[in-house]
Homo-oligomer: A and B are copies of this chain.
Amino acid sequence: MARIKTTQDISRKEVITEAAATLFKEKGYKAASMRDLAEQVGVEAASLYNHIKSKSELLHNICVQVANDFWEHIHEVENKKCTGVEKVEAILRYHIREMITNYEKVYVSDREWKHLTEPYLSNFHTQRREYRKKVASIIEQGIHKGEIKPIDAPTAVLIILHAVSGIDSWHRSKQKISAAELEANMVTILIDGLRK
């Protein structure tokens, strides 16, 4: 009888969730079946239900975990004593690093959250909007202080956050530059684009 491999640190539920993230990223939430997922962890589909409640719970857990990480981080940034540009740069760098180290989950949270069920869908949506407002507000402060060009803040947010999701292509790229170089390049282009 096949068993889901675990270590002391990582529960079977976590193993399943990790595999789900990879699968959801590759095929999309809807196209990924529980039988696919079961095969990935080396077990029959029904066996998964000894560890999880439902498919949608998997997506939910992924999205919540990612959302909380970003939520926590932006609060730290808000309380920092530094310039607006520096704050934006810190946020950007965090997004880049998360997208590199935590790829599958961040990707899934970003592209598949539409398939969350209520009330989690509304919660997620709201938190996402709030997050963007926070970033926009930091940018606006920077504009007022003359550090940042007089641009439309929501547009800047949109550019920065979506640009990061392009790291997807970097992951798939054969001859890739290092993660550090990638980060440096992205910061150069985007932060210089903002700076006055």
| Majority-rule SS of A interface residues | helix
Chain B residue contacts of A186, Cβ below 8 A: 155, 159
* A151: Cβ under 8 A from any B Cβ: yes
- Please tell me if the beta carbons of B155 and A182 are within 8 angstroms of each other in the complex: yes
Residues of B within 8 A of A115 (CB): 28, 31
Question: Does residue A42 face the partner (Cβ distance < 8 Å to B)?
Answer: no
* Residues B28 and A185 in contact, CB atoms below 8 Å apart: no
Tell me whether A43 is interfacial, beta carbon within 8 Å: no
CB distance from A23 to the nearest CB of B (A): 13
> Looking across the interface, which residue of chain B has its beta carbon closest to that of A169?
B158
Task: Determine if B167 and A163 form an interchain contact, defined as CB atoms under 8 angstroms apart.
Answer: no
Do A189 and B28 touch (CB < 8 A)? no
Please measure, in the bound complex, the distance between the C-alpha atom of A83 and the C-alpha atom of B149, giving whole angstroms.
Answer: 25
CB within 8 Å for A189 and B159 given contacts A111-B111, A152-B182: yes
Q: Which residue of B lies closest to A188 (CB)?
A: B151
Taking a contact as CB atoms closer than 8 A, the residue among B162, B181, B182 that contacts A163 in the complex is B162
Q: Does A4 contact B (CB under 8 A)?
A: no
Given known A31-B115, A111-B111, A193-B193, contact A159–B152 (CB-CB < 8 A): no
Pairwise interchain contact B192-A192, C-beta atoms closer than 8 A: yes
Give A23-63 interface residues, CB cut-off 8 Å to B: 27-28, 30-31
Which B residues are CB-close (under 8 A) to A166? Answer: 158-159, 161-163
Residues of chain B within 8 A (CB-CB) of A137 are none
The answer for the CA separation of A42 and B186 in the assembled complex, in Å, is 47
| Alpha-carbon separation in the docked complex, A159 to B182 (Å) | 11
23 contacts between A and B (CB under 8 A): A28-B30, A30-B31, A31-B115, A111-B111, A149-B188, A151-B188, A151-B189, A152-B182, A155-B170, A155-B177, A158-B169, A158-B170, A159-B189, A161-B166, A162-B162, A162-B163, A162-B165, A162-B169, A189-B190, A189-B194, A192-B192, A193-B193, A193-B194
